[in-house]
C-alpha cells in the first residue's frame, strides 16, 4: 500500500507521550499533520507540539475529537490516506476499569475505524497496541513452549478485574483486526510496544511511563523495588517504527517493538553509574512474599504479584528489526535521557 506524502496524515491522541515523537518525525519530513486532540484550545498542552512544528518543514493543524464522541474524527480524517490511532488511556491507577480504560480503548477504536470506513481516501491505519495485547502476566510467557512472546500470541489471562489495562489493549486490537477484515480498501498495521521510556516532547507527560521512571529516583523504591521484569523500548525508536509502519508499502500485521528486558533495579544501576548516590535509586529487590503480603495495602492485587514478580520476560523483536528497519538504541541512553529530562524539569526538587 503506497501512501502519498503530499496528503495529510491524521493522528489520534496527538498530545500523548508516544505520539509526540511521531508528530515530530512526520513534521520533520515535511508532512501535514492533522492532530486530533481533545482540547485544541489548551494552549499549555499544545505548546510543545507547536514548538516542534515551528522548527520543522511540515505543518500541524488541530482538530477537536474525543474517542467517545461518535464521528468526531471525521473532520480530521478528511483527505488523509494514512491514519495513526495512538489514543488510549495508559494508567495503572484507575477507579472504574470499564469507564476509564475499556470504553475509551474499545469504543474509541470502533469509533475511529467506523470513521475510517466513511472516509474514502484512507488507505492505511496504524494502530498503537501493546505487548499487553499479546500476554497478560509474566507467568503466561514462562508457560509458552519457548518462554518467549511472538506476534502469534494473544493475551488470554487479563479481564476487567485482573490487569484491566492489558485487557483494554487486547480487546481494542482484536476489534481493529475484526473491522479491518470486513473490508478491502484500507489495511491495518499494528505496533505492539513494551514499556516506553525516553524523553518526552512534552517533558511533563502524564503517561504511566513518567510515573514509573519517576519512582526510580524519588525514593519510592529506596528500601527495595519489586522484582518485576518488563520489556523496554525508547520512545524515539518507537516513533521510527510507527513512521515506517505507515509508509513502507510492504508493512503488514503486528510488530513487537521492544528492545531489552529491564527491572527497576537494573535501571537504578544504570542511573547510579551516571549520577552516583545523588538520588535514592533502588539497590535491591524486595522478596516476593513480602510484596505479596503488603500488596493490598499499596493498592495491588495479590494475584497480580503472584503471577508476575520473579518470572522472566522475553519477546521476539526480530520482525521489527528485519521488516520495519527499527534500530534499537542502547537502553542506557533511553533511561539516562529520560531521567536527565526529569532532573532538568525539577521533577525531583521536592524529594531532594
Ligand atoms: P499518554 O501520554 O497518556 O497518551 C494518551 C493519549 O490518548 C493522550 O493524547 C490523550 O489525550 C488521549 N486520550 C485519552 N483518552 C481519550 C479520549 N477519551 N478521547 C481522545 N483522546 C484520548 O500515553 P502514551 O503512553 O503516550 O500512550 C499512547 C498509546 O501507546 C496508547 O495506546 C498506549 O496504550 C500505548 N502504549 C504505551 C506504552 C507506554 O509504556 N507508554 C506501552 C505500550 C503501548 P489527552 O492529552 O487529551 O489526555
| Residue 158 phi, psi (nearest 5) | -85, 155
C-alpha torsion 256→257→259→265, nearest 10:
-90
Q: Band the pLDDT of 339: cuts 50, 70, 90.
A: very high
User: Taking the alpha carbons of 37, 40, 45, 51 in that order, is the dihedral positive or negative?
Assistant: positive
Query: Is the shortest distance between the CB of 257 and ligand 1 below 6 Å?
Result: no
Query: Is the shortest distance between the CB of 15 and ligand 1 below 6 Å?
Result: yes
The topology (CATH level 3) of 9-344 is Rossmann fold (3.40.50)
320/340 Cα distance (integer angstroms) = 28
Provide, rounded to the nearest whole percent, the portion of the chain with pLDDT above 70: 99
pLDDT surpassing 60 at residue 335? yes
pLDDT surpassing 70 at residue 351? no
- Coil vs helix vs strand at 275: helix
Query: Is the shortest distance between the CB of 190 and ligand 1 below 6 Å?
Result: no
pLDDT surpassing 70 at residue 13? yes
Tell me the mean pLDDT in the region 245-266: 97
pLDDT in tens, 280-317: 999 999 989 998 888 888 778 899 999 999 999 999 99
256 close to 192: Cβ distance less than 8 angstroms: yes
Taking CA atoms only, the protein residue closest to ligand 1 atom 36 is 130
Cβ-based neighbours of 98, under 8 Å, separated by 6 or more = 160
Cα 18 to ligand 1 centroid, rounded to whole Å: 7
126, 165, 207: which to mutate for ligand 1, most atoms within 8 A of CB?
A: 207
64/83 Cα distance (integer angstroms) = 16
The overall pTM is greater than 0.95:
yes
Query: Is the shortest distance between the CB of 16 and ligand 1 below 6 Å?
Result: yes
pLDDT surpassing 60 at residue 18? yes
Query: Is the shortest distance between the CB of 308 and ligand 1 below 6 Å?
Result: no
The DSSP result for 132-199, as a single string, is: GGT-SSHHHHHTSTTS-B-TT----S--SSSSHHHHHHHHHHHHHHHHHHT-SSSEEEEEEE-EEES-
pLDDT surpassing 70 at residue 346? yes
Kind and range of the H or E element at 255? Answer: strand 253-257
342 close to 217: Cβ distance less than 8 angstroms: yes
Q: Band the pLDDT of 350: cuts 50, 70, 90.
A: low
347/208 Cα distance (integer angstroms) = 15
pLDDT in tens, 147-192: 999 999 999 999 999 999 999 999 999 999 999 999 999 999 999 9
Query: Is the shortest distance between the CB of 192 and ligand 1 below 6 Å?
Result: no
**Boundaries of every domain in the chain:** 9-344
Q: What number of residues does the chain have?
A: 352
pLDDT surpassing 90 at residue 352? no
33, 63, 87, 102: which to mutate for ligand 1, most atoms within 8 A of CB?
A: 87
pLDDT in tens, 128-138: 999 999 999 99
24, 41, 90, 127: which to mutate for ligand 1, most atoms within 8 A of CB?
A: 90
Q: If you average pLDDT over every residue of the chain, what do you get?
A: 96
Amino acid at each position: 500500500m503506497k501512501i502519498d506524502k503530499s496528503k495529510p496524515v491524521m493522528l489520534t491522541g496527538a498530545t500523548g507521550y508516544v505520539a509526540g515523537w511521531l508528530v515530530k518525525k512526520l513534521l520533520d519530513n515535511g508532512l501535514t499533520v492533522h492532530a486530533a486532540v481533545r482540547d485544541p484550545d489548551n494552549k499549555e498542552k499544545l505548546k510543545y507540539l507547536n514548538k516542534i512544528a515551528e522548527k520543522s518543514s511540515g505543518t500541524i493543524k488541530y482538530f477537536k475529537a474525543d474517542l467517545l464522541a461518535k464521528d468526531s474524527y471525521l473532520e480530521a480524517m478528511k483527505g488523509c490516506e494514512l491514519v495513526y490511532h495512538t489514543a488510549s488511556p495508559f494508567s495503572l491507577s484507575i477507579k472504574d476499569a470499564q469507564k476509564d480504560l475499556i470504553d475509551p480503548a474499545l469504543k474509541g477504536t470502533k469509533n475511529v475505524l467506523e470513521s475510517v470506513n466513511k472516509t474514502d481516501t484512507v488507505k492505511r491505519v496504524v494502530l498503537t497496541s501493546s505487548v499487553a495485547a499479546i500476554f497478560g502476566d509474566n507467568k503466561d510467557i514462562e508457560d509458552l513452549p519457548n518462554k518467549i512472546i511472538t506476534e502469534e500470541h494473544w493475551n488470554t489471562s487479563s479481564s476487567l478485574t485482573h490487569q484491566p489495562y492489558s485487557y483494554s489493549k487486547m480487546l481494542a486490537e482484536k476489534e481493529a483486526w475484526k473491522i479491518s477484515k470486513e473490508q478491502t480498501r484500507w489495511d491495518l498495521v499494528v505496533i505492539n510496544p513494551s514499556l516506553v521510556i525516553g524523553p518526552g516532547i512534552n517533558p511533563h507527560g502524564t503517561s504511566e511511563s513518567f510515573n514509573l521512571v519517576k519512582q526510580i529516583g524519588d525514593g519510592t523504591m529506596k528500601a527495595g523495588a519489586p522484582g518485576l521484569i518488563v520489556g523496554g523500548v525508547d520512545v524515539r525508536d518507537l516513533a521510527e517504527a510507527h513512521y515506517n509502519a505507515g509508509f513502507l508499502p510492504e508493512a503488514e500485521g503486528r510488530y513487537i517493538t521492544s528492545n531489552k528486558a529491564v527491572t527497576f533495579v537494573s535501571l537504578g544501576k544504570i542511573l547510579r553509574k551516571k549520577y552516583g548516590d545523588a538520588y535514592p535509586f533502588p539497590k535491591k529487590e524486595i522478596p516476593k512474599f513480602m510484596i505479596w503480603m503488603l500488596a493490598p495495602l499499596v493498592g495491588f492485587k495479590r494475584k497480580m504479584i503472584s503471577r508476575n514478580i520473579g518470572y522472566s520476560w522475553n519477546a521476539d523483536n526480530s520482525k521489527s528489526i528485519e521488516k520495519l528497519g527499527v534500530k534499537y538504541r542502547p537502553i542506557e541512553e533511553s533511561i539516562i535521557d529520560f531521567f536527565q529530562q526529569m532532573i532538568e524539569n525539577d521533577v525531583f526538587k521536592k524529594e531532594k
